[in-house]
Amino acid sequence: MDRLTGPLGIRLVMAMASAIDDRTLGPGQPLPAERDFAAGLGVSRSTLRQSLEQLAKDGYVATRAGAGTFIAQRIQKPITRLTGFTDDMLSRGLKPSSHIVECKVMPVPPEISFRTGLPLGTEVMMLSRLRQADDEVMGYDRSIFPVQAVGADFDGTGSLYARMDAQGGRPRRILQSLKAAEAPADIARYLGVKPGAAVLAIHRIGYGVQGNALEDAMSWYRGDRYEYIAEITG
């Protein structure tokens, strides 16, 4: 908010941010041309411009060269719901897609065996995917899971959790850590952000109903497009 001079600009930013959060203004929706928008809101063009700059910085709107300013795609995910990426996007009416960066089978790496309890020698698959919603890049997942949990013919396409459901069950309990991080250079390239841009770095270990480890995953989600929310009572 530091760049806005007066309370009017601040109120404008807050009103637009809450309209975007409650979906009154939907993702992908174009904003009116600056002159009309400012006139409609009864504010000066410079106040509007400063407000939009702030909203862009916070990831609420995005400007595409030559095409104007749009409401950006942002995901708010309840932190306590155990869902996968495909579930999250479909429940929001978005079309999930993935680009597979790497998919290989190998013996479980010792540190993963140590963390998850999977015995050394277990055959695991390492699947690295760029995750998209309506063709917009949201994040990058690098998951390691026993081949047995997905079947030997799994080629990494489609929903991993749906595949596990069909095979013997997806994770039902997860230990997860979530922290702010700077995008590592190799991940930044896929996410379409500058190296060092803000991302949410999430590590999860998922266990099946029997307490067996089913997934050890590292995800990097774009900080401007992903937000975890929770209801907290006291």
Interacting residues toward ligand 16G by CB under 6 A: 84-86, 141, 143, 159-162, 202, 204, 215, 217, 219
The smaller minimum CB distance to ligand 16G, of residues 63 and 167, is found at 167
Q: What's the closest the beta carbon of residue 189 comes to ligand 16G, in angstroms? A: 19
- Rounded-to-integer distance, Cα 157 and Cα 160, Å: 8
Q: Which residue is nearest to ligand 16G (CB)?
A: 84
Q: What's the closest the beta carbon of residue 211 comes to ligand 16G, in angstroms? A: 18
The smaller minimum CB distance to ligand 16G, of residues 71 and 217, is found at 217
Q: What's the closest the beta carbon of residue 119 comes to ligand 16G, in angstroms? A: 22
- Rounded-to-integer distance, Cα 223 and Cα 202, Å: 12
137: its two tokens: 């890049």
Q: Which burial class, exposed, middle or buried, applies to 28 when counting CB atoms under 10 A from its CB (0-12, 13-18, 19+)?
A: exposed
Q: What's the closest the beta carbon of residue 28 comes to ligand 16G, in angstroms? A: 21
Which runs of E-coded beta strand occur in the chain?
61-64, 68-71, 75-78, 96-107, 123-133, 136-146, 173-182, 198-207, 213-222, 226-229
The smaller minimum CB distance to ligand 16G, of residues 49 and 77, is found at 77
Tell me the β-bridge partners of 102: 128
C-alpha dihedral sign at 87, 176, 147, 199: positive
In total, the chain counts a number of residues equal to 234
Q: What's the closest the beta carbon of residue 144 comes to ligand 16G, in angstroms? A: 10
The smaller minimum CB distance to ligand 16G, of residues 178 and 197, is found at 178
What is the rounded (10 degree) CA torsion for 23, 27, 29, 35? 80
The smaller minimum CB distance to ligand 16G, of residues 64 and 179, is found at 179
216: its two tokens: 């050890």
The smaller minimum CB distance to ligand 16G, of residues 54 and 163, is found at 163
Q: What's the closest the beta carbon of residue 181 comes to ligand 16G, in angstroms? A: 13
